[in-house]
Amino acid sequence: MKPVRVLGIAGSPRRSGNTDLLLAEVMRGAASKGAETNTIVLNSLKITPCQHCDACLEAGNCRIKDDMQMVYDKLEKADVVVLASPIQFMGLSAQTKAMVDRCQCLWARKYVLKIPPLGSGPGRKKGFFISVGGTKFTKLFDGALTVVKALFNTLDITYAGELLFRGIDEKGAITGHPDALEKAFRAGQKLVDDFAGE
Ligand SMILES: Cc1cc2nc3c(=O)[nH]c(=O)nc-3n(C[C@H](O)[C@H](O)[C@H](O)COP(=O)(O)O)c2cc1C
């Protein structure tokens, strides 16, 4: 059987920060179940914000030739997408939101051109969201969750769950949480088990 392909998308500007550490554990858990894992770091990529040129309405392709072209390819090939972003000003990080907006061409494929948003890549994709915020506001994750669910829905990726932690601010503070990293590892294992079991 082919290994489950898990794509990690690190959306924080901070390397080895809290969402990075959680993402690494999810990917480690997935790998422990035989998954093929690959993580991309958005902050290291050149992703120009969507210019709303509407070129994608013609054929569903983005005319901006930057690193997002590689991201489209990876999204197409992935079985499971694990997106990690810290909360910044009550929403996704700018790095993550830029990537999300550049998925407008995939929205155009689905809703305008009526073609599958991620081409002939693996079907029945699953998506998982990781986030952390420094405060403990009740509505801390509402904005980010709305956007991530809209993204996954547009890309025909089934929302498979989330790991959200409030009150985690300093770099690496997540390591002081009683069970966050363990939960992340187990979430990675479960994502692969569930995908392979369906
Ligand atoms: C520009 C910026 C905006 C932020 N906005 C919020 C916010 O609105 N609410 C909040 O609880 N924390 C906010 N934070 C704190 C981060 O969410 C927190 O430090 C988190 O642990 C960072 O995760 P990371 O290490 O993965 O980047 C913000 C941090 C930055 C740098």
Whether residue 7 contacts residue 82, with contact meaning beta carbons closer than 8 Å, is answered with yes
The CATH code of the domain that includes 165 is: 3.40.50
In-domain check, residue 143: no
pLDDT of residue 120: 67
Q: How many domains does the chain fold into?
A: 1
Residue 3 lies inside a defined structural domain of this protein: no
Cβ neighbours of residue 34 under 8 Å, at least 6 residues apart?
A: 3, 4, 192
Ligand 1 centroid to residue 13 C-alpha, Å? 10
Closest CA to 125 of 87, 146, 155, 100: 155
| Burial degree of 193 (CB within 10 A; 0-12, 13-18, 19+) | middle
For residue 123, how far is its CA from the centre of ligand 1 (angstroms)?
Answer: 34
Give me the domain span that covers residue 180.
17-126+150-197
- Helix H or strand E segment including 161: strand 157-165
Q: Collect the ranges in the chain with pLDDT lower than 50.
A: none
pLDDT tens sequence across 173-196: 999 999 999 999 999 999 999 999
The residue written with tokens 């550490």 in the block is 21
Whole-number pLDDT of residue 121: 63
Q: Is 108 in the pocket of ligand 1 (CB under 6 A)?
A: no
Does ligand 1 lie within 6 Å of residue 131's CB atom?
no
Q: Is residue 117 part of a domain?
A: yes
DSSP string, 5-54: EEEEEE--SSTTSHHHHHHHHHHHHHHHTT-EEEEEEGGGS--PPP----
> Whose CA is closest to atom 30 on ligand 1?
88
Any ligand 1 atom below 6 A from CB of 132: yes
Tell me the CA–centroid distance for residue 46 and ligand 1, in Å.
22
Residue nearest to atom 1 of ligand 1 (CA): 88
Q: Is 54 left (phi over 0), alpha (psi -120 to 50) or beta?
A: left
pLDDT of residue 198: 81
CA torsion, points 174, 126, 92, 75, in degrees to nearest 10?
110
State how far the Cα of 183 lies from the Cα of 82, in Å rounded to an integer: 14
As a whole number of angstroms, the distance between CA 27 and CA 189 comes to 8
Q: For residue 132, tell me if it sits in a domain.
A: no
Q: What is the pLDDT of residue 119?
A: 82
